[in-house]
Structure 1
Amino acid sequence: MDASDAIVIGAGHNGLVAANLLADAGWSIVVLEATAHPGGAVRSGHITAPGYLSDLFSSFFPLGYASPVLRGLNLPIEWKHAPAVFSHILPDGRAATVSRDVEATMASMEQFAPGDGERWKAVYHEWAALSELLLHSLLTPFPPVRHGLALLRSLRTAEALRFARRLLLPARELGQEWFRGEGASLALAGCALHTDLSPEQAGSGVYGWLLAMLGQQVGWPVPRGGAQSITEALVRRLESRGGQVVYEAPVERILIARGRAMGARTSGGTDYRARRAVVADVPAPALFLDLVGTRWLPPRLIDDLAHFRWDGATVKIDWAIGSKIPWSNPAVAGAGTVHLGADLDGLTRYATHLALGEIPPQPFLLFGQMTTADSTRSPAGTESAWAYTHLPRRPSWTAGEIAEHVERMEATVERHAPGFGEAVVARCVNSPADLEDANPSLSGGALGGGTAAAFQQLFLRPIPGLGRPDTPVDRLYLASSSAHPGGGVHGAAGGNAARAALVRDRGLTGEAYRAAMSAAHRAIYR
């Protein structure tokens, strides 16, 4: 087979973003996808009942909507919003609701403590002043020199030190410093638990702050017609530039000669040659241990991979609901996403059970009302809904264990929406193993490509290194959520890998870049 300029392994959204950016530079691109479908964790399907469309994995996309990487591709996506962004229901039935209308959010938070509405507004205004520089800093390779320096200049030294402290605060501590009532604190903590962190873990506060403030600023939108719309737009864009996606072509080996990536071999024995780069949208352990192999890697890197930590397992239910969901608290009806099953202490108990390897007796649920956000997802007057919760990471789960936990999940919804069960037309349950079968990158049902804990972020992701997509193998780049900046549908890992490949390919400056990366890797992994 003739060589292409770049081989991209994996047609997840990061792989497709990288492929598009390289195609924009005039490179010829072949994407090798292990499954029969593109998109990785950004896919949709009719899996419950006719006429009900479900997002199979990821669903609401605040990071994707705000991401400068995806915005730069000018994808023809029609974004839709629910009337409210998200609600967190407390066990007593009260709800803290974030809306794109800051006055409405303030009124909700004010119910929990006088003054919390104004406090929320002040936090949001601070976020709005920093958000553009902060997002660029978070979503570019480490260290984020240009935008990072601009952010520091805008903060000045004293505020920069306080900002650095905030980035390390646990969600519980951050909420208690900012607010007096439980509602606003829960809004932050519930968002933090979109990751695998507990409200007490260092760095969990920044995740809660980021997602809550993005919700206030731009909402948590969905693409009209399902998450698949994002994938289809990326594939069409790539193909319009001459790129090719080859399906059911699982890669079993990176082809390497003299320390340089030369292409990839599929399990069927077909070799695909790459003149300029190999970009891998696969988890870090799979890339280094399975596709590259220890022969080409420093022993210290292999040792470090033994300490790579996955995020927790996930069980997900999709429902076809024959009516709107009968919430006891009408404030929740218009929210695209609902957090339910725990107050702040309950979130801590839930996270503690997970940390101890135990099944939480009271699961915390992330619940999505998709038709409320996008009317095309199911017939009028009905709801296409989903919920997921985390489980401890284990080698396997029995069908009985999953069935029992599904009962706990549905009982949690029923407590806050009496009659929910009677309204269910059909459901589809995905265990951790089911999620991995559908998308091999979701190892053990892990959604984030590795833990979001502070010890595996920035220059520590996926292992202690540079915080960049470059690997010790020349012209081989890691482009998955295992790389900085981590999980979420924002395309940054793919964008970073594509930019690194382009820099490496630039004649004399590219050789200088290669020499610098090689020296840095030798220093880190010697």
Structure 2
Amino acid sequence: MADEADAVVIGSGPNGLVAANILADHGWRVVVQEAEEVPGGAVRSDRGVHPDFVNDLFSSFHPLAAASPVVGALDLHEFGLQWSHAPAVLAHPLADGRCAVLRRGVEATVAGLAHDFGAEDAEGWTRLSALWQRLDPHLVNALLAPFPPLRSGSALARRLGVADGLRFARMMALPVRRLGEEEFSDIGATMLLAGCALHADLLPEAVPSAAFGWLLAMLGQQHGWPAPVGGAGALTDALVGRLESKGGVVRCGSRVTSVVVRGGTALGVRTADGDAVRARRAVLADVAAPALYGGLVSWDDLPVRLRDDMRRFHWDLGTFKVDWALDGPIPWTAPGAGQAGTVHLAGDLGELSDYAVQVATGRLPALPFLLLGQMTTTDPTRSPAGTESAWAYTHVPRHVTEDLGGQLAGRWDRAEAQAYADRLEARVETFAPGFRSRIRSRRILSPHTLETEDENLVGGALNGGTAGVHQQLVFRPVPGSGRARTPVRRMFLASASAHPGGGVHGACGANAARAALHADRLGVGRTALRVATGRRSPRADADDR
């Protein structure tokens, strides 16, 4: 089959579908090519754990989607998307029996911190919340825009001024442990921030863990950490439905094997079935950067320097996840944990730091830090009344050198996966005695399984590359980037490997779509990022927001 479209999007994850929708809004004919039999990438749900339970395979809570101006502009509620919230956003039960709880609204969070951790922690949280409110909405807009964020960055500068701007920059450069030492006298508020920072591959002692933890916590306080009613797949269904209403097409089970490049310009794609799809105006790749450069695009069509840069590409940590169908709510010792959609499990900050260092140095922790989701608490449609659809995941080394809790080698065969799932369940049992007695069935998603289900999750990496500062902004995915353009004309990187990185916010796809639209207006001869020489088009920055 030979076909043609204005744009071909490789991959139907949220970034690819957002990009396709934006291009379709501008009258482009868009074809999305998806290797899997169903769309969605890492935003999918099913009944694979138990027929009566809906479980999300990958992402579940979507604060970035709720806050994203990109997603908001698509009016996905018109295509069936509804958000649901748990009574509380996040809970972190501690070894001493207390529990820090993040709620929607500053007053509700502060009241809980004051009651359980004292007035000083409440005052510190109030200060951090006031800073967030002062910068809203420009900070989120700046983070999600192509780099540098000229418009929103200027708005932030006007809000802060020089002196406060320097203080804000210092705070963003702090490790989350140090931020906690400066702002709080007790541990509760620090644990809320530190647990949020460890959603990425950041140690509590690392830069920019304070910025990441504060951002995620403040998003939760303002927007909640909502989940799509009926399962994460409802977000994908809304994006697909909207695209199809605009004339776009999503082809599942149609694996792209190469991008056709002639004279430095992307002309279309070829599939595993031997089909060709010509792209009259652009190819957008919602795939991990290492799969694009030297994979879908031959090194012969790329600058020599890029090959060396990609050799240095740094993946984020692996992930090990267990889904459960539970006969009843999790029997938490700390009552506050039962109200939260997400629960973080680490007894104190030292335990959290030990875990992070161990994973970063190739050792499987005996006491893994868990991120646990209570989906029926969040969305009652997920399972029968009185039951709970739940999951937990933890980060694991990409290459295991030692197991501090047993004899696992990181092969993640069936026996090892079962053993590590048991370790996660024992961890939950510490904070919720009797948890195991409520397990009706479970599903184990090892790093290998996650990659099998979604090829972008290489080794179980969730964020398309590390969140470390050495691979952010103009270093993402390689030095000289920061935007969606690639060394190949009319080809754009639309995945989480591009700035601003991981999370279900659609910004990587939106930035790629806008870059494609801008390049089409200018003419393809002036759009390529010259990685080999560092030269850029004189008008390359004009596509900023």
1:18 is aligned to 2:27: no
Moved more, 264-273 or 481-490: 264-273
Q: How does 1:151-300 map to 2 (within 5 A)?
A: 151-300=156-305
1:520–1:429 distance in 2 versus 1, CA, 3 Å = closer
Aligned residue identity for 2:57: L
Measure, in 1, the Cα distance between the counterparts of 2:345 and 2:468: 23
Q: 1:101 to 1:518 in 2, by over 3 A?
A: closer
Structural mapping, 1:309-388, within 5 Å: 309-388=314-393
Q: Whole-Å Cα distance in 1 between the matches of residues 170 and 509 of structure 2?
A: 29
The one of 128, 131, 135 aligned to 2:133 = 128
Q: Is the 8 A contact 2:20 2:248 kept in 1?
A: yes
Residue aligned with 2:163, SS: helix
Pair 1:92 & 2:107 matched: no
Instruction: Check conservation: 1:448, 1:486, Cα contact below 8 A.
Output: yes
Q: CA deviation at 1:517?
A: 4.2
Could you tell me which runs of 5 or more consecutive residues in structure 2 were left unpaired when the two chains were aligned: 400-409, 537-545
1:105 is aligned to 2:117: no
Amino acid at match of 2:533: R
Q: For 1:450-484, what per-residue CA distance to the aligned partner results, in whole angstroms no more than 9, with x for missing partners?
A: 00001000010011113000001000000000000
Q: Counterpart of 1:387 in 2: which secondary structure?
A: strand
Alignment match of 2:413 (pick from 387, 391, 398): 398
Q: Distance in 2 between matches of 1:163 and 1:330?
A: 35
Query: Where does residue 465 of structure 1 map in the other structure?
Result: 480
Mark the runs of 5 or more structure 1 residues left unpaired by the alignment: none
> What whole-Å deviation, never above 9, does each CA across 1:130-153 have from its counterpart, x for those lacking one?
121001100010010111111111
Say if 2:316 and 2:463, in contact at 8 Å, map to a contact too: yes
Equivalent in the alignment of 1:142: 147
User: Separation in 2 of the partners of 1:479 and 1:203?
Assistant: 24
CA distance in 1, matches of 2:172, 2:532: 28
| Counterparts of 1:154 and 1:74, CA distance in 2 | 29
Asked whether the equivalents of residues 314 and 390 of structure 1 are also in contact (C-alpha less than 8 Å), the reply is: yes
Q: What is the TM-score normalised by the length of structure 1?
A: 0.97
By how many angstroms is 1:198 displaced? 0.7
Query: Percent of aligned pairs with the same residue?
Result: 54
Match of 2:509 in 1: 494
CA distance in 2, matches of 1:54, 1:417: 21
**Paired residues of 1:465 and 1:521 also in contact (CA < 8 A):** no
Aligned pair partner of 1:79 in 80, 83, 94: 83
**What's 1:40 paired with?**
41
The correspondence for 2:533, drawn from 498, 522, 525, is 522
Question: Deviations 1:245-293 (Å, cap 9, x if unpaired)?
Answer: 1111111110011110000001111111000000000000000110011
Report the Cα distance in structure 2 between the residues aligned to 1:475 and 1:17, rounded to whole angstroms.
18
Contact 1:128 1:217 in 2 (8 A): no
* Matching residue's letter, 1:425: R
1:448 aligns with 463
Q: Which residue of 2 aligns with 1:31?
A: 32
The answer (yes or no) to whether the contact 2:134–2:159 under 8 Å persists in 1 is no
RMSD (Å), alpha carbons: 1.4
Moved more, 162-171 or 188-197: 162-171
The corresponding residue for 2:543 is none
Change (3 A) 1:142 1:60: same
**Aligned twin of 1:3:** 4
Per-residue CA distance 1:167-221 (angstroms, 9 max, x = gap):
2111111121111110001100000000011101110111100011111111111
SS at match of 1:388: strand
CA distance in structure 2 between the aligned counterparts of 1:92 and 1:36, rounded to whole angstroms: 47
Asked whether the equivalents of residues 85 and 97 of structure 1 are also in contact (C-alpha less than 8 Å), the reply is yes
The alignment's TM-score, normalised by the length of structure 2, stands at 0.94
Shift of 1:37: 0.7
Contact 1:109/1:183 (8 A) holds in 2: yes
3-state DSSP class of the match of 1:469?
A: coil
Query: Is 1:409–2:424 an aligned residue pair?
Result: yes
Deviations 1:34-54 (A, max 9, x none): 010100000000021121100
**Residues 127 and 29 (structure 1 numbering): CA distance in 2 closer, same or farther, change over 3 Å?**
same
Q: Could you tell me whether the CA contact under 8 Å between 2:102 and 2:220 is conserved in 1?
A: yes
Partner of 1:117: 122
Query: What SS does structure 2 have at the residue aligned with 1:348?
Result: helix
Relative to structure 1, the CA distance from residue 246 to residue 124 in structure 2 (aligned partners, 3 Å threshold; closer, same or farther) is same
Q: Distance in 2 between matches of 1:281 and 1:75?
A: 20
Offset at residue 3 of structure 1 (A): 1.6
Q: SS in structure 1 opposite 2:112? A: helix
Q: How many residues were matched structurally?
A: 521
Which residue of 2 is the match for residue 65 of structure 1? 66
Q: 1:211 to 1:245 in 2, by over 3 A?
A: same
- Are the counterparts in 1 of residues 488 and 528 from structure 2 also a CA contact under 8 Å? no
Task: State the shift of 1:408 in Å.
Answer: 1.4
Amino acid aligned to 1:437: T
Measure, in 1, the Cα distance between the counterparts of 2:338 and 2:218.
21
1:419 is displaced (CA, Å) by 1.0
- Extract structure 1 runs of 4+ deviating beyond 3 A: 516-521
